[in-house]
Amino acid sequence: MKRIILISLALVLVSALVATPVMARGGGKFADCTRIQDGVLEYSAGHYLEGEPLRVGYDIFGYNYQARIFNGSYANTYLGGHGYPPYCGDDGAYAQRLADEGYIVEGKSYGDVTLYNWWSGSFPEVWDLTKSDLTLSYTIDMSGIVTAGWAVVEVGLREAGAPNIDPNLQGGWMQSNYVLPGSDSGTIDNNDFHFLSKHGWSYQQYDATGPESLITPYWSGNNYGFWFDRDGVDQWQADLWGMVDGSTYNTEGVYEIMITYHAIDATTGTMFATINGVQQGLYIGGWKNAQPEFYPAGRSFTGDMTSLQVFYGRGVGGGVVDLTDISVEYSYEDTPYGEWYWPYRDVHLQMKWNDAWISNMDCDGDGKLDRHHGYDSYIGSGAWLTNHMRGDGWTYFTKIVAVPADAYLEGGVWYTADGTEIGPMIWGQFAIIQTVESCEGATYVSPSGPGLGKW
């Protein structure tokens, strides 16, 4: 296991030390160099500390670039460069930190809201549809509205900061309307109307056949799953395709609504709805006693798909509208748990290196801490690195050097020009010159000598 761990250590420092190309000048011997203490060399894009100046002394991951030392959890050599916070030895605390910082996001139950005339609001959580689909569920009781006549209620997603009533072209929502009072006539009555919307009074067409599939916007007065009857129907109407007692009729003005949202890109999404378990559909070429041709029917909406909040609002009509069991289903996880280095988080690692390996200055003006400054590659640069690892009852120590310019590689081993073995090749341009393991002692010592700085 210890040798497997060792293989990728060389790459750690390279990814962590990329800095932005901002130069500051010191004085004396290094007049043309930017130092860490100048405060302008920054962690690279994608790093957990992206945009922050490289630290003088140890940073939160265990790197001390100024002193050319790393001291900490093996996992922390990678976590920062991969955009994650540092691991501090407690799995539970780390999982909670990932959740607190948005690396793990789950759905939420919001409970109940009562709406009076022109009542509106939203919930604080911000949802990113580009990371996960979202399902918004709630029950709306419209039976308390006093006056029919397009008494409108809106519930859905809108951009953070957009209004809670008609957030036009800034979200997508269900528009529920109490249109006609119940008559108990025994025939189908158009009491309540539910329509997915992205604008309060325009763009009232459907255009999605699937989460990623859009067509030319379409609307038909012959439709299914839009109009609902609060009371009963006769036996012939009850036998029509799609008629469900308690779902499409005998609703009493109460509807269980579920809206599924999907982001096509950062500014366009799609949404589909069920009302009392009924999917919406549009007939093409006239009504038929059969499933609609455009079914299920959904629609696109626009806005910032990375920053959406659940909102609710209503207009007039008097009385109250009760929204109950409001909840969001959502699941996003961006964690290091599947990374190969995560199982070694309990391994303690100390690395030390010299200036040729990774300098603590930028002297070539590229905005990064120098590597093998003055050389085309590590070969011949005199760079060296040591790794000292310890785990539960074991230790492992190794010295690694960049091979000299006249060295040659044969059978996976580097040799000097006169044929003396330097050590096994590692990372292409380097050789292992010494390894020491607990209970075994020195398991390898270079015949050319294990001293650092020799090459």
- 20: pLDDT strictly greater than 80: no
Query: pLDDT tens-digit profile of 352-405?
Result: 999 999 999 999 988 889 999 999 999 999 999 999 999 999 999 999 999 999
Choice among 1-15, 38-52, 256-270 with the minimum mean pLDDT? 1-15
Taking the CA atoms of the chain, what radius of gyration do you get in angstroms?
33
User: Average pLDDT in the 223-230 region?
Assistant: 97
Choice among 175-189, 196-210, 273-287 with the minimum mean pLDDT? 175-189
Please name each of the domains of the chain with its CATH number. Answer: 2-98+338-445 (no CATH), 104-333 (2.60.120)
Q: What is the pLDDT of residue 454?
A: 86
Beta strands in 170-289 (DSSP E): 171-178, 192-197, 206-210, 213-218, 223-224, 227-228, 254-263, 268-275, 278-279, 281-282
Q: Which residue has the tokens 């100024």?
A: 66
Cβ-count burial of 156 within 10 angstroms (0-12 exposed, 13-18 middle, 19+ buried)? Answer: buried
Cβ-count burial of 318 within 10 angstroms (0-12 exposed, 13-18 middle, 19+ buried)? Answer: exposed
Lookup: tokens for 227: 């109009």
- 22: pLDDT strictly greater than 50: no
- 213: pLDDT strictly greater than 70: yes
Strands 268-275 and 278-279 come out as antiparallel
Terminal-to-terminal C-alpha distance of the chain: 29
Q: What is the pLDDT of residue 28?
A: 58
User: Average pLDDT in the 225-238 region?
Assistant: 95
Question: Which pLDDT band, with edges at 50, 70 and 90, does 122 fall under?
Answer: very high
Q: What is the pLDDT of residue 320?
A: 98
Lookup: tokens for 447: 């015949």
Query: pLDDT tens-digit profile of 78-111?
Result: 999 999 999 999 999 999 999 999 999 999 999 9
- 31: pLDDT strictly greater than 90: no
User: Average pLDDT in the 296-303 region?
Assistant: 98
User: Average pLDDT in the 44-67 region?
Assistant: 96
Lookup: tokens for 175: 């528009």
User: Average pLDDT in the 21-48 region?
Assistant: 76
Q: What is the pLDDT of residue 144?
A: 97
* 3-class secondary structure, 6: helix
Q: Is the preceding peptide bond at 181 cis, omega within 30 degrees of 0?
A: no
130: left (phi over 0), alpha (psi -120 to 50) or beta: alpha
Over the chain, what is the mean pLDDT? 93
| 59-71: burial string, b at 16+ Cβ within 10 Å, e else | bebbbbbbebebb
* Spatial separation of the C-alpha atoms in residues 396 and 279, rounded to whole Å: 63
Q: Please state, for a pLDDT cut of 70, what percent of the chain lies above it.
A: 93
